[in-house]
Structure 1
Amino acid sequence: MALAPLLPAAAVAAGSLKVDAALPYVCALPSGQRPATVRITAAFPERAAVGEEIRPADVTTTVELPPAAVADLVALKAATVRAESRLTVGVAQGEQRAEAVWSGTAQPVAVPAEGPLVLTTTGDVPSLTTDITGELTLTAGKFAVDLAPGTADGTATDPPSLSLSCAPGEDAGDRTRLAAVPVGAEVPTGEPGTPPSTPSAPPPSAPGTGLPRPPLPADRTAPATPGTPGTPATPGTASGTPQGPRAGKQADDGTPEGEEPPATQEPRPDAPPCITEKPTPSSLSAYIVGYSNVRKLNGANLIPLSCIQVEQGLIEFVEKPDAFHIITPAEGGLSYQGRRQTPPFEATFLTFGFVPTTATVVLEQVGPLTMRGDMALTFPVNTALAHVRVPVVLRVLDAEVNGTRLDVGPSCRTKTPLKSHEPEPEKYPGDHLVLVGRGEYEYGKDSKGYLVLDGGPLTGEAFIPAFTGCGVGGEDLDPLLTAAISGPGNHIKQIQSPVCSVGVPEPPAELCTEDGQPRQIPKPER
């Protein structure tokens, strides 16, 4: 599940560079560290002009997992398995560095009785642009695959998903280098590959360029810093000013002469930990909190403050009939004590209108969370539309009805993920929540509504599926919970905080704590 391509992936231009690399990896399986083989095929242009889009085509990723992986799935009584993969690709040009994530999906395949498990995923990947000359290299890095096993009767296993993380083996060596694309001088105006001229469109971003951030709203404005507000930030920057070795005299307090000392930050309010392990320059984190209706119970429940951690992809500049658009992709998930879920929370309602019922539940992520911001560069106001997609199941940990504990057992959850209307089902298949944010940004003014980096309100509507696995000792509680809770029309409103750019050398103090956690704590809104 990735960005929609400007051209079909199969359309490879003449003079393309074909890549077919079979690389040794080591994957962390439930049974331990095991060797695996990851084969990557793709096609790149042999060379590109400055500002010209470089789009990998015909991208497939095939992972051959060892027999131990089959044994792990058989132990879960899995008959089929569906895979979603994420390959981190390092992009380098001169001193510039960045990372892109190549995502892919696969149709369910049968779990073999023995032997290796071979999974092939395909998907569209972010394009690349650069405004400087020099060789652009792409290198395969860490690889992750999310497995969604299913039983013979079509239901999910327990747990409903397995996430495997893999790294290149020690013997991979230089073979991880996938391609090197020479980038020459800029194409003269009017020739193919020249970005159309428009007064409102910024130049294409070089590898390593961060996502564009509008100025902060007045109630959380940062201390003045050099740079142009609203422009894309370069590596190691917070506001568009390159960070690196600095020359010049220092003031007595350590501040460079001519600069104001940094403002003292107020302590962050209490919040669950949100520390990103091994952050990259593309790592972002934020908090999200809000309410969800349960239509059948005629009430709303607070979904608690939750940590989101994502890896941003490379920005795309896309020409559309109305304007130039900045596309900002990211992918990741919820994080709570090392798990992809919300913190446990209590939901209290009057079941069937008169029976007081309290349940302890979590929203458990069973696939990657994807974010896709789309800002149209229109003068004078830029308009933004963002979609956040995440597959989650509702798991019930404990319940109490009219003061009496109801033993729901260890496996009580919805049969399938919560489901929203998906405007692009062919690009984003499967059941998942869809939250939508809309915003506006006018240069030099506060942003309004929702922007991926500035946060704001996200809304959506969910269908809650039927429940399964509820009850112990032969007592089947599935019909009771399904009758009381499951159904359509459950409105959701979540508020996201501004993101913390975890991996940059000097993250903005007004957005990040000293240990790299989001400083801004959002408040729920009904």
Structure 2
Amino acid sequence: MPGPRPTPRLSRARVRGATIAAFVALAPLLPAAAVAVGTVRVDAALPYVCTLPSGPQPATVRITAAFPERASVGEEIRPADVATTVELPASAVADLTTPRAATVRAETRLAVGAAQDEQRTEATWSGTGQPVAVPAEGHLVLTTTGDVPSLTTGTAGELVLTAGALAVDLAPSTADGAATAPPSLAVACVPAPDAEGRTVLARVPVGAGAPTGTPSAPPPSTTAPSSPSPSPPSLPTDRPAPPTAPGATRATPDLPTPPGAEPPPDGRGLATAEEEPPGTPAPRPDAPPCVTEKPTPMSLSAYITGYSNVRKLNGANVIPVSCALIEQGQPEFDPREDGFHLITKSTARLSYQGRAQTPPFRATFLTFGFTPTTATLVLEQTGPMSIDSDVLLIFPDNIAETYVRAPLVLRVLDVRVNGTPLDVGPDCRTEKPLTSPEPDPATYPGDHLVLVGKGQLINGTDAEGYVLTGGGPLTGTVTIPPFKDCGAGGEDLDRLLTAAISGPDNHVKQIQGQTCSVGIETPPPDQCTEDRQPLVIPKPER
């Protein structure tokens, strides 16, 4: 295996226009009396569907807030008087009365999309409520208030805010104040199908040339607005735009500015306009289908491929181009002694013909140094795959580190030794998932592969190494466990395969391609095919 090569450089041109910088320095809510003239109030009651232990239940979510009529470029837009009220039907109350709850306290997290022209981000409006009595009959009404993030945009144009998914954490208590069993209940809510096109909370004109007058917003009411409004864009994510096919326009990552940091001197945000010369994208190589059946606003997809060494066999085999379906998490700021960290926790699933696995691939080695052996292999995912990204915001440079953790079992489908078939049976596989050294075993227990990607994000210029949405190299070391259930007709081949293949210190290097933002209303053509599959097919690198 050749020595490690320098980390490939992922060139990115500066993004057209400025990005919307979502500041997570939380601002205290202003009381109603403190709302100044020149604001517009939002009072929208929207139909939602909430998933409880008893099943999906209809609910009404009422969102109230106050926004400025308009804002200047670079001016902080701070929502005020924000409250979220969830009204659950009587049929849902049984989920609380069953554990003998007398009162319940709620915490909510509402995803609010922000879009301006082609720029998009998403903020989380968090709230807490006082304990309320669980009614013997009738609806349960829970109201929360709390701090919400401010928004700042570096360009002129209409800023559109849209309500999205809502998470409700319930903490029930008994009549004597003790916790129930279970002590908490997590409820996930999404806008109901008939809420489509009605979830826009406000439209705030920004900058010179913005229309005068009050921005459009749902009229105060206790029901969903009946007047038609333009369909809002799907809830976007505050994520960098990855490298694209040759000749396409590329973008720098959209990174928030932490408190105390200064924006670039052009004053337009974290990115400035610049385009690459036009060109013709390279032909797209063949790749397995990579289709997200039910995308959410946070859905991404990407292809991955690479090499994995088998140390005992003194060789490496190609892991074929495989589809990964990713659900990107909400980015959160974490202030630490060394600076502000932007933490994003995502999940992923391999996808091949409806199964969580790679496509079958063939590997040929000289077993025991002299016998040519060819096997058809598959990597099967046996549990959730986590992707944890940590960006240390040190302007102008930002250091990115991403850990991918995946429980993968290696299956052997067929074997030929010196051209002669060796029947390994239908269930030949490693006895447990592949394992890697885990830097945080308390948080991530169990057997799984660990791959690490490192990158440097330079605002307004280039990105080097790996970032989730841009792709790049991921490396790690893996132990291949012993095999089990190998053989047919009473022949036990477990020890043979274990002796030939299993063992530690097998190097893995995977290359992830640029992601496709499949969950947004109009996926970028330099990221996705017309049928919403990843456009970029990566090539394996040793």
Q: Per the shorter chain, which TM-score range? A: 0.5 to 0.7
Question: What residue identity is the alignment partner of 2:249?
Answer: P
The residue correspondences of 1:493-512 to structure 2 (distance < 5 A) are 493-512=509-528
- Native 8 Å contact 1:216 1:446 kept in 2: no
Match of 1:293 in 2: 309
Question: What residue identity is the alignment partner of 1:130?
Answer: P
SS of equivalent to 2:337: coil
- In structure 2, do the counterparts of structure 1 residues 368 and 50 end up closer, same or farther at CA, with 3 Å as the change threshold? farther
- Native 8 Å contact 2:122 2:238 kept in 1: no
Q: CA deviation at 1:292?
A: 0.3
What is the aligned counterpart of 1:462 among 478, 481, 503?
Answer: 478
- In structure 2, do the counterparts of structure 1 residues 93 and 291 end up closer, same or farther at CA, with 3 Å as the change threshold? closer
TM-score (norm 1): 0.57
Is 1:211 aligned with 2:227? no
The residue correspondences of 1:332-411 to structure 2 (distance < 5 A) are 332-411=348-427
Q: CA deviation at 1:215?
A: 6.9
SS of equivalent to 2:288: coil
Q: CA deviation at 1:264?
A: 6.8
**Which structure's relative contact order is higher, taking Cα pairs within 8 Å and 6+ residues apart?**
2
Q: Measure, in 2, the Cα distance between the counterparts of 1:425 and 1:524.
A: 30
- In structure 2, do the counterparts of structure 1 residues 355 and 223 end up closer, same or farther at CA, with 3 Å as the change threshold? closer
- In structure 2, do the counterparts of structure 1 residues 443 and 503 end up closer, same or farther at CA, with 3 Å as the change threshold? same
| RMSD between aligned residues | 4.0
- In structure 2, do the counterparts of structure 1 residues 232 and 210 end up closer, same or farther at CA, with 3 Å as the change threshold? farther
The total of aligned residue pairs comes to 339
Q: Which runs of no fewer than 5 residues in structure 2 stay unpaired?
A: 1-49, 58-76, 83-107, 116-120, 125-145, 152-160, 169-186, 194-233, 257-267, 269-274
Q: CA deviation at 1:269?
A: 1.8
Q: CA deviation at 1:216?
A: 4.0
Q: Which runs of no fewer than 5 residues in structure 1 stay unpaired?
A: 1-19, 27-36, 38-48, 55-88, 101-126, 142-166, 175-206, 234-240, 242-258
SS of equivalent to 2:150: coil
Q: Which moved more, 1:312-321 or 1:483-492?
A: 312-321
What is the aligned counterpart of 1:223 among 249, 274, 277?
Answer: 249
What is the aligned counterpart of 2:54 among 11, 19, 24?
Answer: 24
- Native 8 Å contact 1:418 1:462 kept in 2: yes
- Native 8 Å contact 1:375 1:383 kept in 2: yes
Q: CA deviation at 1:444?
A: 1.8
- Cα-to-partner distance string for 1:279-327 (whole Å, 9 max, x where unaligned): 1110000011100000001110001010100111111111111111111
Match of 1:435 in 2: 451
Q: CA deviation at 1:334?
A: 0.5
Q: Measure, in 2, the Cα distance between the counterparts of 1:507 and 1:477.
A: 49
What is the aligned counterpart of 2:110 among 76, 82, 91?
Answer: 91
Q: CA deviation at 1:51?
A: 9.7
- In structure 2, do the counterparts of structure 1 residues 129 and 303 end up closer, same or farther at CA, with 3 Å as the change threshold? farther
Q: Measure, in 1, the Cα distance between the counterparts of 2:315 and 2:290.
A: 30
Match of 1:414 in 2: 430
Q: CA deviation at 1:453?
A: 1.0
What is the aligned counterpart of 1:130 among 134, 149, 159?
Answer: 149
- Native 8 Å contact 2:374 2:415 kept in 1: yes
Question: What residue identity is the alignment partner of 2:53?
Answer: L
SS of equivalent to 2:500: helix
Match of 1:275 in 2: 291
Q: Which moved more, 1:427-436 or 1:369-378?
A: 369-378
Question: What residue identity is the alignment partner of 1:344?
Answer: P
Q: Measure, in 2, the Cα distance between the counterparts of 1:400 and 1:508.
A: 45
Q: CA deviation at 1:379?
A: 2.5
Q: Measure, in 1, the Cα distance between the counterparts of 2:398 and 2:52.
A: 44
SS of equivalent to 2:312: helix
- Native 8 Å contact 2:434 2:447 kept in 1: yes
Q: Measure, in 2, the Cα distance between the counterparts of 1:212 and 1:94.
A: 13
SS of equivalent to 1:480: helix
What is the aligned counterpart of 2:499 among 448, 468, 483?
Answer: 483
Q: Measure, in 1, the Cα distance between the counterparts of 2:79 and 2:444.
A: 29
Q: CA deviation at 1:212?
A: 2.6
Q: Measure, in 2, the Cα distance between the counterparts of 1:434 and 1:511.
A: 27
- Cα-to-partner distance string for 1:204-235 (whole Å, 9 max, x where unaligned): xxx95513316748x746438xxx943269xx
Q: Measure, in 2, the Cα distance between the counterparts of 1:476 and 1:129.
A: 62
Q: CA deviation at 1:23?
A: 3.2
Identity across aligned pairs (percent)?
54
- In structure 2, do the counterparts of structure 1 residues 514 and 135 end up closer, same or farther at CA, with 3 Å as the change threshold? closer
Q: Measure, in 1, the Cα distance between the counterparts of 2:512 and 2:242.
A: 17
Q: CA deviation at 1:24?
A: 2.2
The residue correspondences of 1:121-270 to structure 2 (distance < 5 A) are 130-131=149-150, 139=166, 208=235, 210-213=237-240, 216=243, 220=246, 222-223=248-249, 229-231=252-254, 267-270=283-286
TM-score (norm 2): 0.56
- Native 8 Å contact 1:512 1:518 kept in 2: yes
Q: Measure, in 2, the Cα distance between the counterparts of 1:95 and 1:491.
A: 42
Q: Measure, in 2, the Cα distance between the counterparts of 1:402 and 1:478.
A: 19
- Cα-to-partner distance string for 1:109-141 (whole Å, 9 max, x where unaligned): xxxxxxxxxxxxxxxxxx996326x99886469
